[in-house]
């Protein structure tokens, strides 16, 4: 199942292809998703990127170390320190 964010981005691409303006598209998304709707600024950015030709609905990878690294080695180290 798609996350709500990805689902809204897919719907933005659909509405853009239907020729809807951003205001029309955002109004429709607010009607459907209510409080779960992305912010107007976020939706505007994604709408602009799709209009410029972006096709991916997922976030771009970000540089840097992941905030959490769950590996067997790290789990073993943690468990051994606890014992």
**In the predicted model, is pLDDT for residue 67 greater than 80?**
no
pLDDT at 30: 96
pLDDT at 71: 75
Q: In whole angstroms, give the CA distance from residue 46 to residue 50.
A: 6
User: Is residue 43, in this structure, part of any structural domain at all?
Assistant: yes
User: Is residue 38, in this structure, part of any structural domain at all?
Assistant: yes
Instruction: Report DSSP state, residue 35.
Output: G
- Expressed as residue numbers, the domain containing 13 is 4-51
Q: In whole angstroms, give the CA distance from residue 80 to residue 3.
A: 37
Q: Tell me, what CATH number does 43's domain have?
A: 1.10.10
Q: Report the pLDDT averaged over residues 59-73.
A: 72
pLDDT at 73: 80
Q: Number of structural domains, the chain?
A: 1
User: Is residue 17, in this structure, part of any structural domain at all?
Assistant: yes
pLDDT at 78: 79
pLDDT at 68: 65
Per residue in 13-58, pLDDT (tens digit) is 999 999 999 999 999 999 999 999 999 999 999 999 999 999 888 8
Alpha helices, DSSP H only, in 1-83? 4-17, 22-33, 40-51, 72-82
């Amino acid at each position: 199942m798609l996350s709500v964010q990805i689902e809204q981005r897919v719907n933005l691409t659909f509405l853009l292809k239907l020729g809807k303006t951003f205001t029309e598209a955002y109004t429709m998304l607010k009607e459907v998703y209510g409080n779960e709707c992305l912010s107007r600024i976020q939706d505007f950015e994604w709408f602009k990127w799709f209009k410029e030709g972006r096709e991916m609905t997922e976030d771009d990878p970000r540089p840097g170390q992941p905030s959490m690294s769950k590996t067997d080695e790290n789990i073993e180290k943690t468990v051994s320190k606890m014992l």
